[in-house]
Chain A
Amino acid sequence: MTTTTIAAPRSRPPRRGRTTGRSNYELYAWVFMRASGVLLLVLIFGHLFMNLIAGDGIKAVDFGFVAGKWASPLWQVWDLLMLWLAMIHGTNGIRTIINDYAERTGTRVVLKTALYLAFTVTVVLGTLVIFTFDPCPAGASADLLPSFCTG
Protein backbone atom coordinates (compact mmCIF):
# COMPACT_ATOMS: atom_id res chain seq x y z
CA MET A 1 0.00 0.00 0.00
CA THR A 2 1.41 3.30 -0.98
CA THR A 3 0.80 6.51 0.83
CA THR A 4 0.22 9.69 -1.00
CA THR A 5 1.43 12.88 0.51
CA ILE A 6 -1.01 15.70 0.11
CA ALA A 7 0.05 19.24 0.82
CA ALA A 8 -1.60 20.70 3.87
CA PRO A 9 -4.63 22.72 2.82
CA ARG A 10 -4.98 26.42 3.49
CA SER A 11 -1.28 26.96 3.52
CA ARG A 12 -0.27 30.60 3.25
CA PRO A 13 -0.17 31.65 -0.39
CA PRO A 14 3.00 33.32 -1.58
CA ARG A 15 3.01 37.02 -0.73
CA ARG A 16 2.01 39.26 -3.57
CA GLY A 17 3.33 42.75 -4.11
CA ARG A 18 5.81 44.41 -1.83
CA THR A 19 8.52 42.20 -3.24
CA THR A 20 10.73 45.08 -4.27
CA GLY A 21 11.43 46.19 -0.72
CA ARG A 22 9.96 49.62 -1.33
CA SER A 23 8.81 51.63 1.66
CA ASN A 24 5.73 53.78 2.17
CA TYR A 25 7.90 56.91 2.16
CA GLU A 26 5.89 58.73 -0.50
CA LEU A 27 2.63 57.98 1.31
CA TYR A 28 3.97 59.44 4.55
CA ALA A 29 5.22 62.50 2.64
CA TRP A 30 1.74 62.93 1.12
CA VAL A 31 0.07 62.67 4.54
CA PHE A 32 2.62 65.05 6.07
CA MET A 33 1.90 67.73 3.45
CA ARG A 34 -1.77 67.74 4.46
CA ALA A 35 -1.29 67.52 8.23
CA SER A 36 1.44 70.18 8.30
CA GLY A 37 -0.56 72.32 5.86
CA VAL A 38 -3.45 72.67 8.32
CA LEU A 39 -1.09 73.52 11.20
CA LEU A 40 0.86 75.98 9.05
CA LEU A 41 -2.34 77.78 8.07
CA VAL A 42 -2.99 78.53 11.76
CA LEU A 43 0.67 79.25 12.63
CA ILE A 44 1.38 81.53 9.64
CA PHE A 45 -1.94 83.42 9.78
CA GLY A 46 -1.23 84.06 13.48
CA HIS A 47 2.31 85.18 12.64
CA LEU A 48 1.09 87.53 9.88
CA PHE A 49 -1.58 88.97 12.16
CA MET A 50 0.89 89.71 14.96
CA ASN A 51 3.62 91.14 12.72
CA LEU A 52 1.76 92.87 9.87
CA ILE A 53 -1.75 93.69 11.08
CA ALA A 54 -1.78 94.27 14.85
CA GLY A 55 -0.52 97.64 16.11
CA ASP A 56 1.51 99.53 13.50
CA GLY A 57 2.21 96.40 11.44
CA ILE A 58 5.55 96.20 9.68
CA LYS A 59 6.50 99.70 10.94
CA ALA A 60 6.63 98.36 14.51
CA VAL A 61 8.96 95.43 13.78
CA ASP A 62 12.47 95.92 15.15
CA PHE A 63 14.86 94.24 17.59
CA GLY A 64 12.77 95.32 20.59
CA PHE A 65 9.62 93.86 18.99
CA VAL A 66 11.27 90.47 18.38
CA ALA A 67 12.77 90.43 21.89
CA GLY A 68 9.38 91.25 23.37
CA LYS A 69 7.75 88.36 21.52
CA TRP A 70 10.46 85.81 22.33
CA ALA A 71 10.25 86.74 26.02
CA SER A 72 7.14 84.54 25.93
CA PRO A 73 7.56 80.75 25.62
CA LEU A 74 4.36 80.71 23.53
CA TRP A 75 5.99 82.64 20.68
CA GLN A 76 9.25 80.69 20.99
CA VAL A 77 7.39 77.41 20.53
CA TRP A 78 5.15 78.99 17.86
CA ASP A 79 8.14 80.17 15.80
CA LEU A 80 10.10 76.95 16.31
CA LEU A 81 7.16 74.84 15.17
CA MET A 82 6.54 77.17 12.23
CA LEU A 83 10.22 77.00 11.20
CA TRP A 84 10.39 73.20 11.22
CA LEU A 85 6.99 72.51 9.67
CA ALA A 86 7.35 75.17 6.97
CA MET A 87 10.87 74.03 6.08
CA ILE A 88 9.91 70.35 5.80
CA HIS A 89 6.68 71.19 3.95
CA GLY A 90 8.48 73.54 1.56
CA THR A 91 11.47 71.25 1.02
CA ASN A 92 9.17 68.36 0.17
CA GLY A 93 7.28 70.62 -2.25
CA ILE A 94 10.48 71.67 -4.03
CA ARG A 95 11.58 68.00 -4.09
CA THR A 96 8.36 67.19 -5.94
CA ILE A 97 8.96 70.02 -8.41
CA ILE A 98 12.54 68.82 -9.03
CA ASN A 99 11.31 65.25 -9.61
CA ASP A 100 8.73 66.57 -12.09
CA TYR A 101 10.92 68.80 -14.21
CA ALA A 102 14.56 67.71 -13.89
CA GLU A 103 14.73 64.81 -16.31
CA ARG A 104 18.41 63.89 -16.10
CA THR A 105 19.51 61.92 -13.04
CA GLY A 106 22.59 64.10 -12.58
CA THR A 107 20.50 67.28 -12.60
CA ARG A 108 18.15 65.83 -9.99
CA VAL A 109 21.02 64.78 -7.75
CA VAL A 110 22.66 68.23 -7.92
CA LEU A 111 19.41 70.13 -7.30
CA LYS A 112 18.30 67.89 -4.43
CA THR A 113 21.73 68.05 -2.80
CA ALA A 114 21.52 71.86 -2.90
CA LEU A 115 17.95 71.69 -1.55
CA TYR A 116 18.82 69.44 1.39
CA LEU A 117 21.88 71.58 2.15
CA ALA A 118 19.70 74.71 2.22
CA PHE A 119 17.19 72.87 4.41
CA THR A 120 19.83 71.80 6.93
CA VAL A 121 21.56 75.17 7.14
CA THR A 122 18.28 77.09 7.49
CA VAL A 123 16.71 74.79 10.09
CA VAL A 124 19.87 74.56 12.21
CA LEU A 125 20.49 78.32 12.02
CA GLY A 126 16.88 79.19 12.82
CA THR A 127 16.69 76.73 15.73
CA LEU A 128 19.95 78.03 17.22
CA VAL A 129 18.72 81.63 16.91
CA ILE A 130 15.51 80.86 18.82
CA PHE A 131 17.29 78.94 21.58
CA THR A 132 20.35 81.18 22.02
CA PHE A 133 18.62 84.54 21.61
CA ASP A 134 19.77 87.21 24.06
CA PRO A 135 17.20 90.03 24.39
CA CYS A 136 19.64 92.28 26.26
CA PRO A 137 23.07 91.95 24.60
CA ALA A 138 25.86 93.70 26.49
CA GLY A 139 27.10 96.93 24.95
CA ALA A 140 23.99 97.64 22.89
CA SER A 141 22.44 101.07 23.29
CA ALA A 142 19.43 100.93 25.59
CA ASP A 143 17.02 102.65 23.17
CA LEU A 144 17.27 99.67 20.79
CA LEU A 145 16.46 97.12 23.49
CA PRO A 146 13.12 96.05 24.96
CA SER A 147 12.09 98.00 28.05
CA PHE A 148 12.58 95.04 30.41
CA CYS A 149 16.38 95.15 29.85
CA THR A 150 16.75 98.44 31.73
CA GLY A 151 13.88 98.00 34.17
Chain B
Amino acid sequence: MSLARFLTKRLLQGGFVVWGVVTVVFGLRVIAPGDPANVLLPPDVGPEVRQQVIADLGLDQPLHVQYWEFVSGIPTGDLGTSLTTGTLVSHRVARSVPATLELAVAATMVAVVIAIPLGVVSATNRHEAPDYGATLFSLVGISTPNFWLGVMLIIILSVQLNLFPTSQRAIGIPAIFDLLVSAKFATAADGFTTWLWYITLPAITLGTYFTALITRLTRSGMLDELGKTYVRASRAKGLPESLVRYKHVLRNTLIPVITVVGLQLGTLIGGAVITEFVFDWPGLGQVLINSINARDWPMVQGSLIVISVGFVVVNIVVDTLYTYVNPRVGFD
Protein backbone atom coordinates (compact mmCIF):
# COMPACT_ATOMS: atom_id res chain seq x y z
CA MET B 1 0.00 0.00 0.00
CA SER B 2 1.09 3.52 -0.35
CA LEU B 3 2.72 5.72 2.17
CA ALA B 4 -0.44 7.67 2.64
CA ARG B 5 -2.55 4.68 3.49
CA PHE B 6 0.11 3.29 5.78
CA LEU B 7 0.41 6.53 7.59
CA THR B 8 -3.34 6.88 7.94
CA LYS B 9 -3.64 3.40 9.32
CA ARG B 10 -0.85 3.96 11.80
CA LEU B 11 -2.27 7.30 12.82
CA LEU B 12 -5.65 5.75 13.44
CA GLN B 13 -4.04 3.04 15.51
CA GLY B 14 -2.07 5.68 17.29
CA GLY B 15 -5.21 7.66 17.94
CA PHE B 16 -6.82 4.64 19.46
CA VAL B 17 -3.81 4.05 21.65
CA VAL B 18 -3.85 7.65 22.79
CA TRP B 19 -7.49 7.34 23.72
CA GLY B 20 -6.63 4.18 25.64
CA VAL B 21 -3.83 6.03 27.41
CA VAL B 22 -6.12 8.88 28.37
CA THR B 23 -8.68 6.43 29.71
CA VAL B 24 -6.12 4.54 31.74
CA VAL B 25 -4.77 7.79 33.14
CA PHE B 26 -8.26 8.90 34.08
CA GLY B 27 -8.84 5.54 35.72
CA LEU B 28 -5.69 5.97 37.78
CA ARG B 29 -6.99 9.13 39.28
CA VAL B 30 -10.29 7.52 40.07
CA ILE B 31 -8.75 4.67 42.02
CA ALA B 32 -6.22 6.86 43.74
CA PRO B 33 -6.92 7.08 47.44
CA GLY B 34 -7.11 10.40 49.20
CA ASP B 35 -9.28 13.38 48.66
CA PRO B 36 -7.90 15.92 46.20
CA ALA B 37 -9.67 18.59 48.15
CA ASN B 38 -7.22 17.92 50.97
CA VAL B 39 -4.35 18.96 48.78
CA LEU B 40 -5.94 22.34 48.30
CA LEU B 41 -7.52 23.03 51.61
CA PRO B 42 -6.38 23.39 55.18
CA PRO B 43 -7.90 20.79 57.49
CA ASP B 44 -9.97 23.01 59.70
CA VAL B 45 -12.07 24.49 56.96
CA GLY B 46 -15.84 24.47 57.11
CA PRO B 47 -17.88 21.92 55.13
CA GLU B 48 -19.49 24.54 52.89
CA VAL B 49 -16.15 25.79 51.71
CA ARG B 50 -15.07 22.22 51.12
CA GLN B 51 -18.19 21.55 49.07
CA GLN B 52 -17.55 24.65 47.04
CA VAL B 53 -14.04 23.60 46.23
CA ILE B 54 -15.13 20.12 45.28
CA ALA B 55 -17.76 21.56 42.99
CA ASP B 56 -15.21 23.93 41.47
CA LEU B 57 -12.96 21.00 40.71
CA GLY B 58 -15.89 19.23 39.15
CA LEU B 59 -15.45 16.29 41.45
CA ASP B 60 -19.08 16.04 42.43
CA GLN B 61 -20.20 15.14 38.94
CA PRO B 62 -20.93 11.56 38.00
CA LEU B 63 -17.94 9.69 36.63
CA HIS B 64 -18.93 9.64 32.99
CA VAL B 65 -19.41 13.39 33.02
CA GLN B 66 -16.00 13.90 34.57
CA TYR B 67 -14.54 11.52 32.02
CA TRP B 68 -16.07 13.42 29.14
CA GLU B 69 -14.86 16.75 30.53
CA PHE B 70 -11.39 15.34 30.84
CA VAL B 71 -11.23 13.77 27.42
CA SER B 72 -12.81 16.64 25.53
CA GLY B 73 -10.35 19.09 26.96
CA ILE B 74 -7.35 17.29 25.62
CA PRO B 75 -7.52 18.05 21.90
CA THR B 76 -7.59 21.74 22.77
CA GLY B 77 -4.59 21.30 25.02
CA ASP B 78 -6.45 21.76 28.25
CA LEU B 79 -4.93 19.33 30.67
CA GLY B 80 -6.44 20.79 33.78
CA THR B 81 -5.13 22.92 36.57
CA SER B 82 -2.49 21.99 39.06
CA LEU B 83 -3.75 21.37 42.56
CA THR B 84 -0.63 22.71 44.23
CA THR B 85 -0.08 25.87 42.25
CA GLY B 86 -3.33 26.68 40.55
CA THR B 87 -1.65 27.20 37.20
CA LEU B 88 -2.34 25.37 33.99
CA VAL B 89 -0.86 21.92 33.72
CA SER B 90 -0.13 22.47 30.05
CA HIS B 91 2.13 25.41 30.86
CA ARG B 92 4.22 23.47 33.31
CA VAL B 93 4.43 20.54 30.96
CA ALA B 94 5.38 22.72 28.01
CA ARG B 95 8.10 24.34 30.02
CA SER B 96 9.59 20.98 30.98
CA VAL B 97 9.48 19.25 27.63
CA PRO B 98 12.57 20.94 26.15
CA ALA B 99 14.76 19.73 29.00
CA THR B 100 13.64 16.13 28.58
CA LEU B 101 14.03 16.30 24.83
CA GLU B 102 17.54 17.66 25.19
CA LEU B 103 18.44 14.80 27.47
CA ALA B 104 16.89 12.14 25.27
CA VAL B 105 18.45 13.44 22.09
CA ALA B 106 21.86 13.88 23.69
CA ALA B 107 21.76 10.37 25.09
CA THR B 108 20.69 8.91 21.78
CA MET B 109 23.46 10.68 19.96
CA VAL B 110 26.01 9.49 22.47
CA ALA B 111 24.67 5.98 22.09
CA VAL B 112 24.61 5.88 18.31
CA VAL B 113 27.96 7.56 17.86
CA ILE B 114 29.70 5.18 20.20
CA ALA B 115 27.75 1.99 19.81
CA ILE B 116 27.66 1.46 16.07
CA PRO B 117 31.40 1.78 15.47
CA LEU B 118 32.00 -0.27 18.59
CA GLY B 119 29.69 -3.00 17.39
CA VAL B 120 31.31 -3.04 13.97
CA VAL B 121 34.80 -3.18 15.40
CA SER B 122 33.73 -5.94 17.69
CA ALA B 123 32.19 -8.02 14.92
CA THR B 124 35.05 -7.60 12.53
CA ASN B 125 37.67 -8.44 15.13
CA ARG B 126 35.92 -11.40 16.57
CA HIS B 127 37.61 -13.21 19.43
CA GLU B 128 40.29 -10.59 19.71
CA ALA B 129 40.87 -7.92 22.28
CA PRO B 130 38.50 -5.26 20.89
CA ASP B 131 35.75 -7.84 20.74
CA TYR B 132 36.24 -8.94 24.31
CA GLY B 133 36.38 -5.39 25.50
CA ALA B 134 33.27 -4.35 23.68
CA THR B 135 31.37 -7.45 24.71
CA LEU B 136 32.28 -6.96 28.32
CA PHE B 137 31.36 -3.32 28.18
CA SER B 138 28.00 -3.96 26.60
CA LEU B 139 27.20 -6.77 28.98
CA VAL B 140 27.89 -4.60 31.99
CA GLY B 141 26.14 -1.70 30.32
CA ILE B 142 22.81 -3.42 30.05
CA SER B 143 23.10 -4.77 33.57
CA THR B 144 23.81 -1.50 35.31
CA PRO B 145 20.94 0.41 36.86
CA ASN B 146 21.20 3.85 35.35
CA PHE B 147 20.48 5.71 38.59
CA TRP B 148 23.41 4.00 40.23
CA LEU B 149 25.62 4.80 37.29
CA GLY B 150 24.59 8.41 37.64
CA VAL B 151 25.42 8.49 41.33
CA MET B 152 28.80 6.85 40.68
CA LEU B 153 29.62 9.29 37.91
CA ILE B 154 28.76 12.15 40.20
CA ILE B 155 30.98 10.75 42.92
CA ILE B 156 33.96 10.12 40.69
CA LEU B 157 33.84 12.81 38.06
CA SER B 158 32.12 15.58 39.87
CA VAL B 159 32.82 15.34 43.57
CA GLN B 160 36.27 13.79 43.53
CA LEU B 161 37.71 15.13 40.30
CA ASN B 162 35.65 18.28 39.97
CA LEU B 163 35.39 17.89 36.21
CA PHE B 164 31.67 18.42 35.89
CA PRO B 165 28.88 20.02 37.87
CA THR B 166 26.85 17.73 40.05
CA SER B 167 23.38 18.52 38.89
CA GLN B 168 20.70 20.77 37.47
CA ARG B 169 20.75 22.66 34.23
CA ALA B 170 22.07 26.14 33.93
CA ILE B 171 20.74 26.92 30.50
CA GLY B 172 18.52 25.23 27.98
CA ILE B 173 18.53 25.00 24.23
CA PRO B 174 15.49 27.26 23.85
CA ALA B 175 17.36 29.98 25.71
CA ILE B 176 20.41 29.50 23.50
CA PHE B 177 18.16 29.70 20.50
CA ASP B 178 16.76 32.95 21.82
CA LEU B 179 20.24 34.35 22.13
CA LEU B 180 21.04 33.42 18.55
CA VAL B 181 17.89 35.03 17.35
CA SER B 182 18.81 38.24 19.14
CA ALA B 183 22.22 38.04 17.48
CA LYS B 184 24.14 37.61 20.71
CA PHE B 185 26.45 35.10 19.18
CA ALA B 186 29.24 35.21 21.71
CA THR B 187 26.90 34.67 24.62
CA ALA B 188 25.13 31.95 22.69
CA ALA B 189 28.40 30.13 22.10
CA ASP B 190 29.27 30.52 25.74
CA GLY B 191 25.85 29.28 26.64
CA PHE B 192 26.27 26.30 24.42
CA THR B 193 29.49 25.23 26.07
CA THR B 194 27.87 25.65 29.45
CA TRP B 195 24.97 23.54 28.26
CA LEU B 196 27.36 20.85 27.09
CA TRP B 197 29.16 20.90 30.39
CA TYR B 198 25.98 20.36 32.34
CA ILE B 199 24.44 17.77 30.10
CA THR B 200 27.47 15.51 29.80
CA LEU B 201 27.01 13.40 32.91
CA PRO B 202 23.24 13.01 32.53
CA ALA B 203 23.61 12.12 28.86
CA ILE B 204 26.24 9.51 29.59
CA THR B 205 24.12 8.10 32.38
CA LEU B 206 21.03 7.85 30.24
CA GLY B 207 22.88 6.78 27.14
CA THR B 208 24.85 3.91 28.58
CA TYR B 209 22.12 1.30 28.51
CA PHE B 210 21.28 2.25 24.98
CA THR B 211 24.90 2.24 23.94
CA ALA B 212 25.37 -1.22 25.35
CA LEU B 213 22.21 -2.47 23.73
CA ILE B 214 23.02 -1.07 20.31
CA THR B 215 26.55 -2.39 20.51
CA ARG B 216 25.28 -5.86 21.21
CA LEU B 217 22.72 -5.71 18.44
CA THR B 218 25.12 -4.27 15.93
CA ARG B 219 27.67 -6.87 16.78
CA SER B 220 25.35 -9.84 16.57
CA GLY B 221 23.54 -8.48 13.54
CA MET B 222 26.77 -7.88 11.72
CA LEU B 223 28.10 -11.29 12.60
CA ASP B 224 24.94 -12.78 11.18
CA GLU B 225 25.27 -10.77 8.00
CA LEU B 226 28.94 -11.54 7.57
CA GLY B 227 28.10 -15.20 7.57
CA LYS B 228 25.67 -14.88 4.72
CA THR B 229 26.27 -16.17 1.24
CA TYR B 230 26.17 -12.87 -0.54
CA VAL B 231 29.12 -11.72 1.46
CA ARG B 232 31.22 -14.63 0.38
CA ALA B 233 30.02 -14.12 -3.13
CA SER B 234 31.05 -10.49 -3.05
CA ARG B 235 34.45 -11.37 -1.77
CA ALA B 236 34.79 -14.05 -4.40
CA LYS B 237 33.95 -11.46 -6.97
CA GLY B 238 36.93 -9.53 -5.75
CA LEU B 239 35.25 -6.57 -4.16
CA PRO B 240 37.45 -4.79 -1.64
CA GLU B 241 36.78 -5.84 1.94
CA SER B 242 35.90 -2.41 3.13
CA LEU B 243 33.28 -2.03 0.45
CA VAL B 244 31.82 -5.37 1.38
CA ARG B 245 31.66 -4.49 4.99
CA TYR B 246 30.55 -0.97 5.01
CA LYS B 247 28.33 -0.63 2.07
CA HIS B 248 26.30 -3.79 2.08
CA VAL B 249 26.73 -5.57 5.34
CA LEU B 250 26.44 -2.53 7.49
CA ARG B 251 23.33 -1.30 5.81
CA ASN B 252 21.68 -4.65 6.19
CA THR B 253 22.75 -4.83 9.78
CA LEU B 254 21.47 -1.44 10.64
CA ILE B 255 17.95 -2.03 9.52
CA PRO B 256 16.96 -4.49 12.21
CA VAL B 257 19.06 -2.55 14.69
CA ILE B 258 17.03 0.53 14.00
CA THR B 259 13.85 -1.44 14.49
CA VAL B 260 14.88 -2.61 17.89
CA VAL B 261 16.13 0.82 18.79
CA GLY B 262 12.72 2.15 17.93
CA LEU B 263 11.12 -0.46 20.13
CA GLN B 264 13.45 0.48 22.94
CA LEU B 265 12.74 4.18 22.87
CA GLY B 266 10.30 3.62 25.69
CA THR B 267 13.22 2.44 27.75
CA LEU B 268 15.02 5.65 26.93
CA ILE B 269 12.14 7.79 28.04
CA GLY B 270 11.70 5.75 31.18
CA GLY B 271 15.38 6.07 31.87
CA ALA B 272 15.13 9.80 31.34
CA VAL B 273 12.65 10.04 34.18
CA ILE B 274 15.10 8.46 36.58
CA THR B 275 18.09 10.35 35.23
CA GLU B 276 16.25 13.60 35.75
CA PHE B 277 15.63 12.61 39.33
CA VAL B 278 19.28 11.81 39.97
CA PHE B 279 20.60 14.97 38.38
CA ASP B 280 17.80 17.30 39.37
CA TRP B 281 17.30 17.95 35.67
CA PRO B 282 14.14 20.05 35.25
CA GLY B 283 12.34 17.91 32.71
CA LEU B 284 8.99 16.17 32.45
CA GLY B 285 10.16 13.18 34.45
CA GLN B 286 10.88 15.35 37.45
CA VAL B 287 7.46 16.93 37.11
CA LEU B 288 5.91 13.47 37.12
CA ILE B 289 7.73 12.27 40.23
CA ASN B 290 7.23 15.48 42.17
CA SER B 291 3.56 15.64 41.34
CA ILE B 292 3.04 12.05 42.39
CA ASN B 293 4.64 12.76 45.73
CA ALA B 294 2.55 15.88 46.10
CA ARG B 295 -0.62 14.06 45.06
CA ASP B 296 -1.22 16.67 42.38
CA TRP B 297 -3.31 14.41 40.17
CA PRO B 298 -4.01 16.80 37.29
CA MET B 299 -0.29 17.31 36.91
CA VAL B 300 0.35 13.56 37.10
CA GLN B 301 -2.26 12.97 34.43
CA GLY B 302 -0.94 15.72 32.23
CA SER B 303 2.64 14.53 32.30
CA LEU B 304 1.63 10.90 31.78
CA ILE B 305 -0.41 11.82 28.76
CA VAL B 306 2.26 13.95 27.21
CA ILE B 307 4.96 11.35 27.79
CA SER B 308 2.87 8.57 26.30
CA VAL B 309 1.59 10.58 23.39
CA GLY B 310 5.10 11.66 22.59
CA PHE B 311 6.18 8.07 22.71
CA VAL B 312 3.37 6.97 20.41
CA VAL B 313 4.24 9.69 17.94
CA VAL B 314 7.89 8.74 17.94
CA ASN B 315 6.96 5.11 17.38
CA ILE B 316 4.83 6.00 14.40
CA VAL B 317 7.64 8.05 12.96
CA VAL B 318 10.19 5.30 13.51
CA ASP B 319 7.85 2.71 12.06
CA THR B 320 7.24 4.78 8.98
CA LEU B 321 10.89 5.55 8.48
CA TYR B 322 11.86 1.94 8.89
CA THR B 323 9.31 0.71 6.45
CA TYR B 324 10.24 3.45 4.02
CA VAL B 325 13.93 2.77 4.27
CA ASN B 326 13.80 -0.98 4.11
CA PRO B 327 13.67 -2.06 0.50
CA ARG B 328 12.46 -5.50 1.39
CA VAL B 329 9.39 -4.59 3.31
CA GLY B 330 6.54 -2.75 1.74
CA PHE B 331 3.96 -0.61 3.39
CA ASP B 332 1.65 -3.35 4.26
Answer whether A and B are interacting partners. Answer: no
Task: Name B's A-contacting residues (CB within 8 A).
Answer: none
